[in-house]
Structure 1
Amino acid sequence: MSKLTFDQAFERLIGHEGNFTNDKNDRGNWTTGIIGKGQLKGTKYGISAMTYPQLDIKNLTLAQAKNIYKRDWWDALNANSINPAIVFQVWDFAINAGMATAKRKLQSAVGVADDGIIGPVTLQVINSTDLNDVLMRFNAERLTYYTKLSTWPSYGKGWTNRVAGQLRYAAVDN
C-alpha cells in the first residue's frame, strides 16, 4: 500500500472538478447557498461561491485552488491520519457534499457516533475495521445520501459516475 499524497489526490480531484460553471440551479454557485439569493458567482475547480463567497471564483487560479484545498480540506480532514485507500474517498465526498457530511457518513459507515469529529475514537475504529468493509459501507452511505437529495433527478447521474470512479480508485489504493 502506498501513501496517497496531497499532490496525487489533487490531480485526481481536478479530473472531477475543473472548468468554471455558473449553473443558476446549483445552490453552490450562489454566495448565500440559496438559489436566487445573493450573487451568482459560480464554481471553479470545485471551489464554490457558497463556501467562498468572498472569492473572485471566475478568475481563481489552479494554484490558488490547490492552496485552498490543502489548507481548508485536506488538513481539516486529518487526511494524513487516514488510510490512503479511504482518504481520497472521504476527501472527494467532502468537496462534493461538504466536510461535515463526509465526516458524519464515514462515522456512520464504521458505526461510531456521527458527531463530525474525526478524532482518536473514529480513527481507532476505522483502523481496526476491515478496509474493504469501510470502503464499501462508506460509498453505500454516499450513494444513499445523494439519492435523498431533491436535486437527484438533475445531478444524480453525475454523482453516481463520480462514486463509480471512486470505487475504481479504492481498488487501486487498497
Structure 2
Amino acid sequence: MPCSNCHRHGHHCVIDLDISSSCSECIRRKVACDGGDISARLFNAMKESRRLEDEEDAVMKDFAELQSRLTRIREQRRHLRKRQKELFDRGMSDLSKEIRGESSNSNGESSGVINDEVVAGEGSDDWLRELESMSPGALERLAASVGQGSDGANPQSLS
C-alpha cells in the first residue's frame, strides 16, 4: 500500500521494513513517510473488522434465539387466554344456572326447577348480563363478599 506522499504524487512506493519504516521515495525526497503507519493501521482496521463481524454473528444468533423464545411465549399466552375464557364461561354458566335455580341431576341435565329466592321481574335479565360480563377476579371478589356464595358454594371453583 503506498504512503500518502507516493499516493498523492503517483509514485511507486517501496518500503523495506528491515531497513526503515519509510519508503525509498520519501527517503530520497527527505519527507515524512506514513507508509509503515498505514500498514499497521490497515492491519488494525482488518482486525477490528473481523472482531465486529464475530460480534455481529453472536448478536444475530442471540436475536434468533430471542425471537424463537418470543414466538413460543406468545403461543403459550394465546393458549392461556383461550383456557381462561373457557373456564370463565363455564363458571358463568354454572353461576347463571345456580341463580336461576336450575339444578343438575347426576346425568348433568338441567331440571329447570326455579329457586324461590330468585325474584323474576323487570331488570333481572340486565343483572344477569352484567354478572356474565364480569371478569373472573371481580366475580371472585363478589362471591367472597357474599360469604362463600349460597349453599356453601366455593368462589374459587369459578376460576
TM-score by length of 2: 0.24
Q: TM-score when scaled to structure 1?
A: 0.23
Q: Which has the larger radius of gyration?
A: 2
Q: Where is the helix percentage greater, Structure 1 or Structure 2?
A: 2
